[in-house]
Structure 1
Amino acid sequence: MENSLGDFLRSRRSRIQPEEVGLPGHGRRRVPGLRREEVAQLAGVSVDYYVRLEQGRGGSASDAVLDAVARVLRLDDVEAAHLRSLARPPKPSAAASSARGRQQVRAGTRLLLDMMAGVPAFVLGRRMEVLAWNGLADAVHGYSSRPGGGDPNAARQVFLDPAAREFYVQWEAVAAETVAYLRRDAGLHPEDARLSALVGELSVRSEEFRRLWADHQVREKTHGVKLIRHPLVGELDFGYETLGVNGSPEQLLVAFTAPAGSPTAQKLALLASWTADGSPARVE
């Protein structure tokens, strides 16, 4: 049985060298990084309690204990929140239960996508499912012409689409970000069977996914850059912003941006001219 909490804690302590926290680093060590005894000492808890925490038998750990462990392991805010989710799994709610299937996009959100005609924009839901998109996002990503049909999923596209390594100029970075975002989702929804099935599918079919999943990185999707090699117009250098959709829990509106007059903006205008047929935002 998977012990996500223990695996996460071990992965985080393995990256910290004793010298970094004022401990002697000489002597032979069987594993890299800090020992469990050293984490317990620095966090001010008993070794027995910390061992039980790593084994998933720590009960309902207090905020003080989890904050102390997060400090010792130098977790950032996202990692610390992930630690709390693993140590104290959220209780399923009615809203969470309804989100176990494919989420629905409000009519008003779909209309907003349609009105953003000059901006590639889409709605990303749980499990990195692409729930809706506008014409320009379709022109960039090809959601409506994906091989094999089926619901579009950003994680499947990154790891299972043979064209993904050519499409994403920085594929390795995109792959790592994708897995880290899925890890966070898994911590928030440990009972999600659809997410478990997705992780299982990707683990079986992609060696790169298995390697990255075992690294236990966690990350939110906020903003950044995305370099795309489009089959028709060549390289596109985007920024992207993600905005929460109020009233629709765990849906993000993702918009790609390019400075006015830039080569990417000019290529977007060309793509927009090819899709200027009034097609509404596609929803699957």
Structure 2
Amino acid sequence: MGSPLGDFLRAKRDSTQPETLGLPERGRRRSPGLRRSDLATRAGISVEYLTRIEQGRDRNPSPAVMNALADALSLGPAERNHLRYLAKITGGACPTHTRPAPPPRHVRPQILQTLRLLEPGIAVVTNRLGDLLAHTAGFEVITSGSGLLDSEAPNLTRYVFTDPRARKLFPDWDQVADEQAFDLWLGPAVENSEWLSAELAPVAGPEFTRRLNRHEVPERGVLRLDHPSGRELRFLREPLELADDNQQLVVFLPAERKTAEAVDELRRLRGPLRAIS
């Protein structure tokens, strides 16, 4: 049985070409990417030890070993953070760990008050599982008619992978899908991520599971929306971590004047809305 940490290391090794690390080409290989022996040598550990980590038989490698592997694979800052996180949750993954369960959906009154102060701006409180816990009226405006907020407990990850309307709302659907799948590894708790993953896998299929197991850190650029009204919207996202709550407050800023004007038009068409949902 593998582990999230082992899966990530194996995926990075398979996707790393030796020449990018200054290693000579040694002829035909049975599998793509970097040989296990080459990675072990660069990290200063034995092949046997690396094999145990990749196969999930050693779940508690030291920080020094993690740093050595990150250096050996030339990981960037975001990938290093992901590696450390996977080492943390893998070390705590044992047969007696807490059963999968959904995270709480409670939002503190102070956070709701902060949302009110952001009106008429566009903002949402979410977690790494994609639960949309509270939002401003502006967020409702830019997603109106898309079906995203139709359920009693809206969840962006579930919407992206199971609702066909998501591919119309997000012209860069692949980018958004990569982000949502990756963020499950950063969920409020391991058992929360397992709960949603188990729920989604049967209905979302390989589009979901392939991304979840790829461990590729996504680049979060401009978010494009094709609003059902026919307007094209482009937003910059400013996430503010609410560490004590395992939540995020994400503010959407129009990336251009055209988008700001389109949002104003949508507000006028929608009329009065509740300030906080």
TM-score, normalised on structure 2? 0.86
How big is the alpha-carbon RMSD for the aligned residues of Structure 1 and Structure 2? Answer: 2.8
Distance 1:236 1:144, change over 3 A: closer
Q: How does 1:1-284 map to 2 (within 5 A)?
A: 1-58=1-58, 60-89=60-89, 101-142=103-144, 146=148, 149-185=151-187, 189-190=189-190, 192=191, 194-206=192-204, 207-218=206-217, 224-245=221-242, 248-258=244-254, 262-277=257-272, 279-282=274-277
Q: Could you give the per-residue CA deviations for residues 138-193 of structure 1, whole angstroms, max 9, x where no partner exists?
A: 121249965862311111111111111111121111111221222333xx733x1x
Q: Could you give the per-residue CA deviations for residues 183-225 of structure 1, whole angstroms, max 9, x where no partner exists?
A: 333xx733x1x421321232222231122223122359xx631
Distance 1:274 1:115, change over 3 A: farther
Q: CA deviation at 1:133?
A: 0.5
Distance 1:167 1:184, change over 3 A: same
* Unmatched 5+ stretches in structure 1: none
143-152 or 169-178, larger mean C-alpha shift: 143-152
Distance 1:150 1:279, change over 3 A: closer
Instruction: Find the aligned partners of 1:60 and 1:31 in 2 and give their Cα distance.
Output: 27
1-10 or 115-124, larger mean C-alpha shift: 1-10
Q: CA deviation at 1:45?
A: 0.9
* Aligned-partner SS, 2:29: coil
Distance 1:211 1:6, change over 3 A: same
Q: CA deviation at 1:109?
A: 1.6
In the alignment, is the contact (CA less than 8 A) between 2:122 and 2:138 conserved in 1?
A: yes
268-277 or 6-15, larger mean C-alpha shift: 268-277
Identity rate, percent? 36
Q: CA deviation at 1:245?
A: 2.9
* Aligned-partner SS, 1:224: coil
* Aligned-partner SS, 1:244: strand
Q: Could you give the per-residue CA deviations for residues 71-116 of structure 1, whole angstroms, max 9, x where no partner exists?
A: 1112222322332333343659xxx99x953231121221222232
- Number of residues paired by the alignment? 270
Q: CA deviation at 1:32?
A: 0.6
Q: Could you give the per-residue CA deviations for residues 54-85 of structure 1, whole angstroms, max 9, x where no partner exists?
A: 12233532222110101111222232233233
In the alignment, is the contact (CA less than 8 A) between 1:138 and 1:144 conserved in 2?
A: no
Consecutive aligned runs of 4 or more in structure 1 exceeding 6 Å deviation: none
153-162 or 211-220, larger mean C-alpha shift: 211-220
* Unmatched 5+ stretches in structure 2: none
Instruction: Find the aligned partners of 1:228 and 1:69 in 2 and give their Cα distance.
Output: 38
Distance 1:146 1:278, change over 3 A: closer
